[in-house]
Amino acid sequence: MPATPQRRAAAVAVVLLAVPALLPLASAAAAWLAPAGEVWQHQLAHVLPRVGLNTALLLGLVAIVTAVLGTGLAWLVAGHEFPGRGVFAWALLLPLAVPGYVLAVVFAGALDFAGPLQSWLRETLHPGLRLPPIRSLGGAALVLSLCLYPYVYLLARVAFETAGARTLEAAQTLGLDRHAAFRHALLPMARPAVAAGVGLVCMETLADFGVVAALNVDTFTTAIYRAWYGMFSLAAALQMAALLALLALAGVWLERRLRGDRSFAGQRPSGALQRQQLTGGRAMAATLAAAGVLAVAFVLPMGQLLAWAVRHAAADLDVRYWAFAARSVALAGSGALVVVAAALLHGYALRAERRGWVRGLGRIATVGYAIPGTVLAVGLFAPVAALDNFLQARFDAALGSSAPQLFLQGTLLTMFVAYLARFLAVGTGPVESGLERIHRNLDEAATLLGAGSLARLRRLHLPLLRGSLLAAAVLVFVDLMKELPITLMTRPFGFETLAVRVFEMAAEGEWERAALPSVLIVAAGVLPVILLARRVTHVA
Amino acid sequence: MIRNVFPGALAAIALAAGSLLPLATEAETLVVYSARNEQLIKPVFDAYTRATGTEVKFATGDAAVLIERLAAEGRNSPADLLMTVDAGELWNAAERGLLRPIDSQVLARNIPAHLRDPGRRWFGLSLRARTIFFNPQRVDPAQLSTYEALAGPAWRGRLCLRTSKKVYNQSLVAMMLAEHGEPKTEQIVRGWVANLATDPFANDTALLEAIAAGQCDVGIVNTYYFGRIVREKRDFPVRPFWANQGAGGTHVNISGAGVTRHSRNAAAATRFLEWLSSGEAQAHFAAVNMEYPVNPAAAVDPLVASWGQFERSPLNVAEAGRLQPAAVRLMDRAGYR
């Protein structure tokens, strides 16, 4: 294929979109140029074998549990009729709005030896009674799975509801019963969606610091922070972060391989999936299963948070909270728009330009999601501050004492660049799978009819992509509501958000007082999540 | 929906561009990068503004992050002061040349020598004591003596510790390194790990509650966490014990601050530090978090005072920073997570 101006523009777009992620990655790679020998010897001997094993176990457990839970619940809700289904359909997405670190603290408080459940069990049943420890690898896997399964649930449900009817029909024509059709036809059909969901889950798990720190589980991420905060070696921390990014890239590559060349493209939008009516014990089991997950992942933790919030609201809740909430929503909203616009551009550029290096760069642009937020923030901050210093020196030389003071690193612009570096993956997931479902023949037909690329975008693609864009926007929005390290480091002075509020309280161990801003984060995230859930059936 | 997106995106870009406007640095404004959190500094900073007219702006965050921020910003940094909740972090910032020496008679007079940098680059502003807490129903305080003794066989399965990831424990072990040297300290830490009743906790509050619930009998905790609980629950069944009395003194750390190398308002920043170290401001700064003032002349919160007088470790808290990386490595080797 000759390089048309369009393809050149596409390549340029991919390069530009990769810059935010490349900056911290370059910082991390550069750290390898000056080996932190002493720290590394120690890490290899006493730290990495243990945290490597822990990280692998955690990743495996969370991937398996979210895949099973997410796909199972998606099939339950998409393929069956049972009491409460209409509510569970959207409510099962709600855990997305709860920050993982908050859920971890609630679980630790409720389920530890000194917590209410175990205390009650010891008093009423047997003084020697013990539950499995929540402050453990298993506990961390539980908490992470409960707050991350909705990614898989959402994407799998979209797959079942958009292409499920025809697949099921075809399988049943071949004589398979509904159960066999699910195993042999629907599940393979949904595999790319499940893989995309589990991919996001794995990247979040790799980058997670909040949950594992709250439950004191040592992982690769905690080792990164220990080298930096504890041993004063940012170099060693960045080196380990570079390894983490490589691991994530390998994961992205693996996910692509697992997906194979199965594509939704060319599949006609099929009719609504016929839901099987469950009756009697099976209906009750379905309701109980969905209610159980929802209770453990959302309702009970929220109850605890609300109880704490109410206890401290009299002292803490004041007019400033309106400003905190307004800033959080404005920041997350505008951030989501920026990320989704970038994801759309990214998707189009990769659709137009399929050369190997461009695609590779396109993938690299998304691995920021697997890098611990604070490391990414510092990795990005240093080059921006260097640019600021460079420009300032030029200004000062040219204008002397009347030169304006630049402060690039403390601006919302820097914040948004960092958000792009971190969250592009969350936007590209849904956008790409949406684009994959639009066959190229459609593009060509539109071009033949004389529609330019903008007209094609507006009149043909956007209507078809609406659902995917909405899904992307909501996922990024709730992630940004919860985001802390980047906001903390790059916010302008006095710019406080709800997440920053949680940090202020939590950093001093005042968890009960952190409940109030946490509840507000969840409340602000719930509405868009419900909106998404109601529209998800239209994601075709 | 998409048609509504573009005005929103434009607004976002306008918002971002608006913040690009130059940030004026007026003479009467101080900027603090603070690892001490908003609720603990704002009341005191506001009092300073009321008293002097000088506005105090601040950005909070983890100390390590704020230090990297200072380093990356270099001479264009807007920060005049760096404030942390641990001496080790101030030591690190000073080592990296991010703080400037300050000559101040007031600071030298108000703050005991072991709670400030021998190189005059940072100063303790409140004192945090980390000592032994016990369950009086299960432990006779006569059995208690030192941190070191908690490594003995009498405490097998009875000890609770917070994670070694927390800087407070890194500082405690660093100070033990300064006192005992490496082999003996490692032996003590191994003894602690062998005595653990349960995996280390993520925070001091959960640890105190575990002692109250009987999961373990003793633990090592900063006193203000205890203060926060007893302020609400007078009958909380845990008591403090002052460790190492007559044997080197109880481990203390500081929350403190230093003036940045590139501050444009170093004189004003110094005056602010002097104000914080004296009189009512000093008492207030400690009392908001039930810590101890560094200035012996300042009043102690009545609840805090009710725990009694104690002998403090006279070692300079700078040692906590110098030996912190070694302490972390030691704890890794000893299996203290």
CATH number of domain containing A159: 1.10.3720.10
- Judged by a CB distance cut-off of 8 A, whether residue A510 touches chain B is yes
Residue B59 in domain: yes
User: Does B108 share its domain with B197?
Assistant: no
Token digits for A493? 């002075």
Over 90: is that where the pLDDT of B176 sits? yes
Q: How many angstroms separate the CA atoms of A333 and A335, rounded?
A: 5
Q: Which helix (H) or strand (E) holds B324?
A: helix B324-333
Confidence of residue B12 (pLDDT cuts 50, 70, 90): very low
**Residues B305 and B159 sit within 8 Å (Cβ to Cβ):** no
- CA angle B204–B208–B211, rounded 5-degree value: 140
Q: Which helix (H) or strand (E) holds A388?
A: helix A373-399
User: Does B37 share its domain with B95?
Assistant: yes
> In degrees to the nearest 10, what's the CA dihedral of B309, B313, B316, B318?
-100
Nearest to B150 by CA among B228, B251, B290: B251
- Residues A89-115 have a mean pLDDT of 94
Q: Which domain holds residue B137?
A: 129-251+319-333
Residue A1 in domain: no
Over 50: is that where the pLDDT of B1 sits? no
**Nearest residue of A to residue B203 by CA position?**
A509
Q: How many angstroms separate the CA atoms of A66 and A70, rounded?
A: 5
Nearest to A106 by CA among A310, A298, A315: A298
- Residues A12-29 have a mean pLDDT of 92
Structure letter (DSSP) for residue A268: P
**Nearest residue of A to residue B91 by CA position?**
A232
Q: How many angstroms separate the CA atoms of A34 and A48, rounded?
A: 20
Other C-beta atoms lying within 10 Å of the C-beta of residue B296: 10
Token digits for A61? 């457990």
Measure B229 CA to nearest chain A CA, in Å.
11
Amino acid A459: pLDDT: 75
Q: How many angstroms separate the CA atoms of B178 and B216, rounded?
A: 29
Task: Give DSSP secondary structure letters for A399-410.
Answer: HGGGPPPP-GGG
Token digits for B25? 């640095």
Residue A332 in domain: yes
B92-127: pLDDT as tens digits: 999 999 999 999 999 999 999 999 999 999 999 999
Residue A253 in domain: yes
- Out of B1, B65, B228, whose CB is closest to A374? B65
**Residues B126 and B285 sit within 8 Å (Cβ to Cβ):** yes
Q: How many angstroms separate the CA atoms of A364 and A376, rounded?
A: 14
A356-386: pLDDT as tens digits: 899 899 999 999 998 888 989 988 888 888 8
Residue A156 in domain: yes
Amino acid B282: pLDDT: 98
A176-199: pLDDT as tens digits: 888 898 988 889 888 888 988 999
A174 Cβ partners below 8 Å, 6+ apart?
A: none
Confidence of residue A396 (pLDDT cuts 50, 70, 90): confident
Token digits for A391? 């420009």
pTM of the shown model: 0.92
Confidence of residue B26 (pLDDT cuts 50, 70, 90): very low
- Judged by a CB distance cut-off of 8 A, whether residue B200 touches chain A is yes
User: Which chain B residues are within 8 Å of A50, Cβ to Cβ?
Assistant: none
- Judged by a CB distance cut-off of 8 A, whether residue B228 touches chain A is yes
User: Does B111 share its domain with B260?
Assistant: yes
Residue B291 in domain: yes
Confidence of residue B22 (pLDDT cuts 50, 70, 90): very low
Distances (CA, A) of B316 to B111, B320, B324: 12, 8, 14
* Residue whose tokens read 């504890």: A230
Structure letter (DSSP) for residue B298: S
Pairing of strands B123-134, B251-259: antiparallel
**Residues A428 and A475 sit within 8 Å (Cβ to Cβ):** no
Strands (E), chain B: 29-34, 55-60, 81-84, 123-134, 159-160, 218-222, 239-241, 251-259, 292-293
Residue A5 in domain: no
Contact B57 A494 (CB under 8 A): yes
| Numbers of helices and strands, H then E, in chain B | 14, 9
Average pLDDT for chain A = 88
Q: Which helix (H) or strand (E) holds A145?
A: helix A137-173
**Residues B156 and B194 sit within 8 Å (Cβ to Cβ):** yes
Confidence of residue A270 (pLDDT cuts 50, 70, 90): low
* Residue whose tokens read 């653990």: B196
Q: Which residues of A205-233 are buried (b: 16+ CB within 10 A; e: fewer)?
A: bbbbbbbbbbbbbbbbbbbbbbbbbbbbb
Which region among A394-398, B79-83, B294-298 has the lowest average model confidence (pLDDT)? A394-398
CA atoms lying within 13 Å on the CB side of residue A54: 19
Token digits for A303? 């109850």
Amino acid A265: pLDDT: 44
Amino acid B91: pLDDT: 97
- Residues A285-291 have a mean pLDDT of 97
User: Does B94 share its domain with B173?
Assistant: no
A486-507: pLDDT as tens digits: 998 888 888 889 999 999 888 8
User: Does B328 share its domain with B198?
Assistant: yes
User: Does B183 share its domain with B216?
Assistant: yes
- Residue A344, phi then psi, degrees to nearest 5: -65, -45
- Counting residues of chain B whose pLDDT is more than 70, the rounded percentage is 92
- Residues A103-123 have a mean pLDDT of 95
Q: Which domain holds residue A377?
A: 15-538
User: Does B60 share its domain with B144?
Assistant: no
User: Does B215 share its domain with B195?
Assistant: yes
End-to-end CA distance of chain B: 51
Q: Which helix (H) or strand (E) holds A539?
A: none
Over 60: is that where the pLDDT of A110 sits? yes
Looking at the 3D structure of chain B, how many domains does it have? 2
Pairing of strands B29-34, B81-84: parallel
- Judged by a CB distance cut-off of 8 A, whether residue A487 touches chain B is no
Amino acid A318: pLDDT: 85
Q: How many angstroms separate the CA atoms of A480 and A486, rounded?
A: 10
B positions 155-174 inside 8 Å of A (CB) = 163, 165, 167, 170
Q: How many angstroms separate the CA atoms of A238 and A481, rounded?
A: 26
Measure A178 CA to nearest chain B CA, in Å.
37
Nearest to A142 by CA among A75, A69, A223: A69
- Out of A135, A416, A493, whose CB is closest to B59? A493
Pairing of strands B159-160, B81-84: unpaired
**Residues B31 and B80 sit within 8 Å (Cβ to Cβ):** yes
**Residues A396 and B59 sit within 8 Å (Cβ to Cβ):** no
**Nearest residue of A to residue B4 by CA position?**
A337
Pairing of strands B159-160, B218-222: parallel
Amino acid A116: pLDDT: 93
CATH number at residue B115: 3.40.190.10
Q: How many angstroms separate the CA atoms of A219 and A65, rounded?
A: 19
Nearest to B95 by CA among B261, B255, B271: B261
Looking at the 3D structure of chain A, how many domains does it have? 1
B positions 95-154 inside 8 Å of A (CB) = none
Contact B24 A405 (CB under 8 A): yes
Cβ contacts below 8 Å, chain A against chain B, sum to: 187
Residue B42 in domain: yes
Contact A109 B206 (CB under 8 A): yes
Report the sign of the C-alpha dihedral through residues A135, A139, A141, A146, in that order.
negative
User: Which chain A residues are within 8 Å of B202, Cβ to Cβ?
Assistant: 108, 135, 213-216
Which region among A57-66, A390-399, A502-511, B11-20 has the lowest average model confidence (pLDDT)? B11-20
User: Which chain A residues are within 8 Å of B328, Cβ to Cβ?
Assistant: 226, 230-231
- CA angle A12–A17–A18, rounded 5-degree value: 100
User: Does B137 share its domain with B211?
Assistant: yes
Contact B202 A510 (CB under 8 A): no
User: Does B208 share its domain with B73?
Assistant: no
Amino acid A142: pLDDT: 98
Which of B3, B21, B76, B91 to probe the A interface (max A CBs under 10 A)?
B76
**Residues B138 and B176 sit within 8 Å (Cβ to Cβ):** no
User: Does B72 share its domain with B160?
Assistant: no
Instruction: Give me the interface pTM, i.e. the ipTM.
Output: 0.91
Confidence of residue B20 (pLDDT cuts 50, 70, 90): very low
Residue A518 in domain: yes
Report the sign of the C-alpha dihedral through residues B225, B227, B231, B237, in that order.
positive
- Judged by a CB distance cut-off of 8 A, whether residue B92 touches chain A is yes
Amino acid B183: pLDDT: 98
Token digits for A370? 């697997």
- Out of B209, B228, B325, whose CB is closest to A232? B325
**Residues A78 and A165 sit within 8 Å (Cβ to Cβ):** no
Confidence of residue B131 (pLDDT cuts 50, 70, 90): very high
User: Does B112 share its domain with B160?
Assistant: no
- Counting residues of chain B whose pLDDT is more than 90, the rounded percentage is 91
